[in-house]
Amino acid sequence: MEEEEHDVVVVGAGPAGSMTALVAADRGLDVLLIDRNSEIGVPVRCAEGVSREIEKFIEIDPRCVCTEIKGFITNGPEGTKLVVSASDDVAGYVLDRRTFDKSLAQEAARAGAEVRVKNRAYGVSKSNGRVNGVYVNASGEEVCISADVVVAADGVESRVGRWAGLDTRLRLEDVATCAQYLMCDIEANSDYCEQYFGWEIAPGGYAWVFPKGEHRANVGIGIGGNISGEHHRAIDFLDAFVHEKFPNGQIIARIFGAVPLSGPVYRTVTNGLLMVGDAARHVNPFSGGGILEAIQGGLIAGDVIAKAVREKDCTARRLREYERRWWREFGRVLYAGLKAKNYLLKLSPQNFNRFFRSLTGEIKLKEYTERALMKEMAKKNPKMLLSLVRTLF
């Protein structure tokens, strides 16, 4: 078996992994970024929408943007509508994740990180109670890659985190199973992302239509993992939704996946290892969105890792700075999203409908952020407001 050494090895070249690698390399570390697939950004398992808040952290390459959106429209189960928009007319973007992910990995490489594809991690190495590397199958060759810090950026299942001893299990009710079609030849709202709620449409979740320009859109559905079963799969609900909304549309890509909705897992570090992105459950449980949190978490992780390696202290105690910082920056918003999701799922059918009736109307946000949006939604529903007041305000 071949052996090599680096300061940091990042497993997974999604947004969180690439941002972590970029920042750590920019701080002068020897960083290796690996991905199990033969092409970064493929397969796409994302609705690809992100708020303009992301511009606080990175500059978006125009080539990564399919369309600018003014906001989103929430369609309730009785035909009610909530229109949320930004006062400056641009609330966010629908990205081309293939281009976006490649762009981030390329920026990591420009910062000095080495990037490799078709490198599949199959275990972690440990010594004296700490993780000190990963075992990798590199296009058929077995390699032991030693590192001061291993970053688990390997998605919702995070086998790397599990191998290190962290609990990455999820209950079925804490997972959304999702199916999505990229469709063309359809008439979708080109200015707004749309969501559709209703137990008949998407039990325990919602359907979405995210425009990608030129009469194209991501059309998908996520349902509760504890609801999914024979003849009640996400794809079954998606086919019914598409048949009703876009019977003449053409399907040009099919995407399937799972989204963690457990809320933030506080224990995201151990000796020599740190988890980011979906692996760390950095996804808003209410919306299912996680691109923004992946970028934020990666920025924090890369900075903390750089300091830890320079100090020659990569213990869990030192790496917990990462946990404190991500909780301060966005953890409370994710926790509020979890409370909002649980509140909604516990409603009776009558109260579920009443909740969406309370949201009917328009909201115009001066600053389009997840926190601002959840605050305004809570203000429209007093009972939800009471459950979130300590978290958001």
194-217 confidence digits (pLDDT tens) = 999 999 999 999 999 999 998 999
Tokens found for residue 314: 């990569």
Nearest to 184 by CA among 212, 206, 159: 212
**Would the pLDDT of 382 be above 80?**
no
User: Which pLDDT does position 230 carry in this prediction?
Assistant: 76
CB 251 within 8 A of CB 186: no
Identify whether 234 is part of a domain: no
What is the pLDDT confidence band of residue 232, given thresholds at 50, 70 and 90? confident
* Average pLDDT rounded to a whole number, residues 102-113: 98
Q: How far apart are CA 344 and CA 339, in angstroms?
A: 9
* Average pLDDT rounded to a whole number, residues 242-250: 97
What is the pLDDT confidence band of residue 9, given thresholds at 50, 70 and 90? very high
* Residue with more model confidence, 359 or 309: 309
> Which residues, 6 or more positions from 28, have their beta carbon under 8 angstroms from its beta carbon?
112, 306
* Residue with more model confidence, 393 or 151: 151
Identify whether 92 is part of a domain: no
CB 10 within 8 A of CB 21: yes
Tokens found for residue 308: 């830890």
Residue 89 backbone zone (phi > 0: left; psi -120 to 50: alpha; other: beta): left
**pLDDT tens, 113-138?**
999 999 999 999 999 999 999 999 99
CB 54 within 8 A of CB 89: no
User: Which pLDDT does position 385 carry in this prediction?
Assistant: 60
**pLDDT tens, 179-199?**
999 999 999 999 999 999 999
Q: How far apart are CA 120 and CA 126, in angstroms?
A: 18
**Would the pLDDT of 384 be above 80?**
no
SS3 at position 23: helix
Least confidently predicted of 3-17, 237-251, 379-393? 379-393
User: Which pLDDT does position 127 carry in this prediction?
Assistant: 94
SS3 at position 164: coil
Other beta carbons less than 10 A from residue 231's beta carbon? 5
Amino acid at the residue 94: V
Identify whether 238 is part of a domain: no
Q: How far apart are CA 371 and CA 348, in angstroms?
A: 26
* Residue with more model confidence, 265 or 224: 224
| 270-275-278-281 Cα dihedral, nearest 10 degrees | 40
Residue 109 C-beta-side C-alpha neighbours within 13 Å: 13
Identify whether 363 is part of a domain: no
Q: Exposed/middle/buried for 110, CB within 10 Å: 0-12, 13-18, 19+?
A: exposed
What is the pLDDT confidence band of residue 1, given thresholds at 50, 70 and 90? confident
Identify whether 373 is part of a domain: no
**Would the pLDDT of 392 be above 70?**
no
What is the pLDDT confidence band of residue 293, given thresholds at 50, 70 and 90? very high
**Would the pLDDT of 68 be above 90?**
yes
Paired with 294 in beta bridges are none
**Would the pLDDT of 389 be above 60?**
no
Identify whether 257 is part of a domain: no
**pLDDT tens, 152-166?**
999 998 999 999 999
SS3 at position 213: strand
Identify whether 346 is part of a domain: no
Paired with 71 in beta bridges are 85, 192
User: Which pLDDT does position 208 carry in this prediction?
Assistant: 97
What is the pLDDT confidence band of residue 387, given thresholds at 50, 70 and 90? low
Nearest to 331 by CA among 370, 303, 367: 370
User: Which pLDDT does position 368 carry in this prediction?
Assistant: 86
Tokens found for residue 131: 């993780």
Q: Where are the alpha helices (DSSP H) in 207-271?
A: 234-245
CB 213 within 8 A of CB 190: yes
Amino acid at the residue 372: A
What is the pLDDT confidence band of residue 391, given thresholds at 50, 70 and 90? low
User: Which pLDDT does position 378 carry in this prediction?
Assistant: 77
Identify whether 15 is part of a domain: yes
**Would the pLDDT of 151 be above 70?**
yes
Complete edge-to-edge strand list for the sheet that includes strand 65-69: 49-51, 92-95, 65-69
What is the pLDDT confidence band of residue 343, given thresholds at 50, 70 and 90? confident
% of the chain at pLDDT higher than 90: 80
Rg (CA), the chain: 21
User: Which pLDDT does position 84 carry in this prediction?
Assistant: 94
User: Which pLDDT does position 370 carry in this prediction?
Assistant: 82
Other beta carbons less than 10 A from residue 118's beta carbon? 15
User: Which pLDDT does position 326 carry in this prediction?
Assistant: 97
CB 342 within 8 A of CB 353: no
Q: For residue 328, what are the domain limits?
A: 2-45+98-170+263-338
**Would the pLDDT of 393 be above 80?**
no
Nearest to 171 by CA among 374, 342, 326, 352: 342
Q: What is the CATH classification number for the domain harbouring 103?
A: 3.50.50.60
Number of domains present in the structure of the chain: 1
User: Which pLDDT does position 231 carry in this prediction?
Assistant: 76
